[in-house]
Amino acid sequence: MSAPGPAVRRAAAPERSAGPGVRRWRVRQRWAGQRLLLRWLRLPAAARVLVVYALARLFSAFVLAEVARFQEPSAWTPQDPGYADLLVLWDATWYRSIALDGYPDAVPLGADGDPVQSELAFYPLAPLLARLLVATGLPFAWAGSLVSLVAGAAAAVGVRALLHWALAARCTAGAARRGAWSAAVLLCVSPPSVVLQVPYTEGPALALLVAFLLLLQRQRYLPAGAVALALGLTRPVAVPLSAVVVVHLLLRARAGRRRGAVLSGREALRALVLLGCSGAAGLLWPAAAWLLTGRADAYTATMGAWRSGGEVVWLRPWWDVSQHVLGAVAGPALLVVAVVAYVAWLLGRRTAVLGADLRAWCLAYVGYLLLVLDPFTSLFRYLVLLFPLGALVGLHPRRRGALGALVLASLALQVVWTAWLWRFSPPADWPP
C-alpha cells in the first residue's frame, strides 16, 4: 500500500499535534455524551415525552412574554401587559366570563333582534374545570392556563401511547417507537401549540380525544362511550367521532364474519351503547343551551353571530373564499383537487400503518371542517387535532433529518403564529 499523500498528511497533522491532555479531554467528552444519551434512553417513554412537553411550553412562554412587549393597549390588555395578561386574550375572555359568571339565561339579542356573540357558543367543560381552581383563590388566567397545561401533558403522553399501539400491529417494534415518538414531539412543538398553555379548549379536547381513540382501539366500548360524552362538552367534534365509531364497528363486524366469529350479545350491547353515546355527544351542549335559555336553536343561532352571513352555512364558505382568493374557476377547481388528493393519500399504502380508526378520524375530521367551518385563521389551531399524521414522519426513510427539520420549522412558525395571530392589534384583528 502506498504512503498517504501530502494532503492526507496535512489533514492528520493537527490530530498528532494535540497533546495527551487534549486527547483525554476529548475522550471524556465523548463518554459523557454517551452516558447522557444512555440515561435519556433509559427513562420511561412517558417521562421523555413530558420532558419535551415541558421544554416546548417553556419556549412558548418565552415567546408569549416577548410578544407581550409589543402588545398595544386595548379593551383586553393594559398599557404594559405581561405574560398573564396575554393569556386572557381572544376566546379566553369568553371562557373567563363563563368561569366567573356562568352562562346567560336567555339568548342575547342585538338592536335588530338577531342573536349576538355570547358565551352560549362556547362549550362548558374547560371553563368549569378552571372555575374549580378559581374557587381556591387562583386568578382565572393561571387557573385556565393550568387546566390547559395539565390536559396538554396528558394528551402528549397519550399520543405516544396511542400511536405506539396502532403502529405496533403493522410495523416493527422499532418503527412503532419512532412513529409514536415523532407524533408526540410534533404535537408538543407545533406552531399553534401555544394554545396548550392558554385558557382554551384544545388541551382538554386533545386529552379526551386521545383517550377515546385508545379505548376504541382496545375495544373498551363502555369507557369510550363515557369519554365521548365528556368530549361532547368540550368541543363540537362529535360528528366526526360518530363516523369513526361507525367505521370501527363495521370493520369489526366484517372481520368477525370472515373468521366465523359473531359478536356476543354482551359485546353487541356495548357497541350499541358506544354508538349511542358518540351520537348523543353532539347533542349535549345544544340541548343544554336550550334548557338554559328556553330557545331550541340557542346554540346554532348564537354560532351564526360569528359567521359572515349571520348563520351557519354548510360548505359554501370554502367555495366562496376559494373564488375570492384564486378566481371563480381556479379557486373551486384547486379546492376540489386538494380534497381529492388528501383523501387519495390518506387511503393509500403509505398511511395504512395508522390503521382504520386513525385514518377514519383524519378523514372525518377534515370533512367536518369543510362542512361547517369558515376557512379563516382559526383553521391553523383546529388542525392540531390531526396529530396522528405526525407519526408518518418517524417512518420516513430519512426520519432523523426530517423530524429535526420539522421541529425547527415548527418552533420558528410558532413565533410567527404567536406574533401574527395571538397579539391583538386594535381595533380589530384576525383571530387565532
Question: What integer pLDDT is reported at residue 395 of this predicted model?
Answer: 86
Residue 14 predicted with pLDDT over 50 = no
Residue 184 near residue 406 (C-beta atoms within 8 A): no
Longest dimension (CA), the chain: 95
How large is the average pLDDT for residues 123-143?
97
Residue 1 predicted with pLDDT over 60 = no
Residue 53 near residue 160 (C-beta atoms within 8 A): no
Helices 238-259 and 221-231, interaxial angle, to 10°?
Answer: 160
In tens, the pLDDT along 312-324 reads: 788 888 998 999 9
Give the ranges where 355-428 is alpha helix by DSSP (H). 355-372, 379-382, 391-394, 399-417
Q: Binning pLDDT at 50, 70 and 90, where does residue 4 land?
A: very low
CA 145 to chain CA centroid, nearest Å: 16
Q: Binning pLDDT at 50, 70 and 90, where does residue 258 land?
A: confident
| Mean of all residue pLDDT scores within the chain | 89
Q: Binning pLDDT at 50, 70 and 90, where does residue 68 land?
A: very high
Question: What integer pLDDT is reported at residue 12 of this predicted model?
Answer: 43
Residue 6 predicted with pLDDT over 60 = no
Nine-digit cell string for 235: 368541543
Is residue 348 helix, strand or coil?
Answer: coil
Is residue 115 helix, strand or coil?
Answer: strand
DSSP string, 11-59: HHHHHHHS-HHHHHHHHHHHHHHHHHHHHHHHS-HHHHHHHHHHHHHHH
| Spatial CA neighbour of 205 closest among 281, 276, 145, 125 | 125
Is residue 303 helix, strand or coil?
Answer: helix
Cβ atoms < 10 Å from Cβ of 382: 17
How many CA within 13 A on the CB side of residue 385? 31
Q: Binning pLDDT at 50, 70 and 90, where does residue 41 land?
A: confident
Q: Binning pLDDT at 50, 70 and 90, where does residue 20 land?
A: low
Nine-digit cell string for 376: 379563516
Residue 196 predicted with pLDDT over 50 = yes
Please name the amino acid found at residue 186.
Answer: L
Residue 144 predicted with pLDDT over 50 = yes
Residue 36 predicted with pLDDT over 60 = yes
When mean pLDDT is compared across 167-171, 231-235, 308-312, 393-397, the lowest value belongs to 308-312
Q: What's the rounded Cα separation, in Å, for the pair 386 and 203?
A: 14
| Spatial CA neighbour of 425 closest among 61, 62, 67 | 67
In tens, the pLDDT along 370-396 reads: 998 888 899 999 999 999 999 999 887
Is the peptide bond between 427 and the residue preceding it cis, with omega within 30 degrees of 0?
yes
Question: What integer pLDDT is reported at residue 354 of this predicted model?
Answer: 96
Residue 126 near residue 234 (C-beta atoms within 8 A): yes
Give the ranges where 218-349 is alpha helix by DSSP (H). 221-231, 238-259, 265-293, 298-304, 316-326, 330-346
Share of the chain above pLDDT 70, in %: 90
Cβ atoms < 10 Å from Cβ of 372: 16
How large is the average pLDDT for residues 334-349?
95
How large is the average pLDDT for residues 404-426?
94
Cβ atoms < 10 Å from Cβ of 103: 17
Q: Binning pLDDT at 50, 70 and 90, where does residue 179 land?
A: very high
How large is the average pLDDT for residues 283-303?
95
Nine-digit cell string for 138: 387562583
Q: What's the rounded Cα separation, in Å, for the pair 85 and 230?
A: 29
Please name the amino acid found at residue 270.
Answer: R
**Continuous segment of H or E residues that includes residue 309:** none
In tens, the pLDDT along 153-166 reads: 999 999 999 999 99
Nine-digit cell string for 92: 379566553
DSSP string, 175-212: HHHHHHHHHHHHHHH-GGGGGGGSSSSHHHHHHHHHHH
**Continuous segment of H or E residues that includes residue 96:** helix 91-101
Q: What's the rounded Cα separation, in Å, for the pair 266 and 272?
A: 10
Nine-digit cell string for 326: 384564486
DSSP single-letter state for residue 119? G
Burial of 293 (0-12, 13-18, 19+ CB in 10 A): buried
Residue 427 predicted with pLDDT over 90 = no
**Continuous segment of H or E residues that includes residue 6:** helix 6-17
Residue 415 predicted with pLDDT over 50 = yes
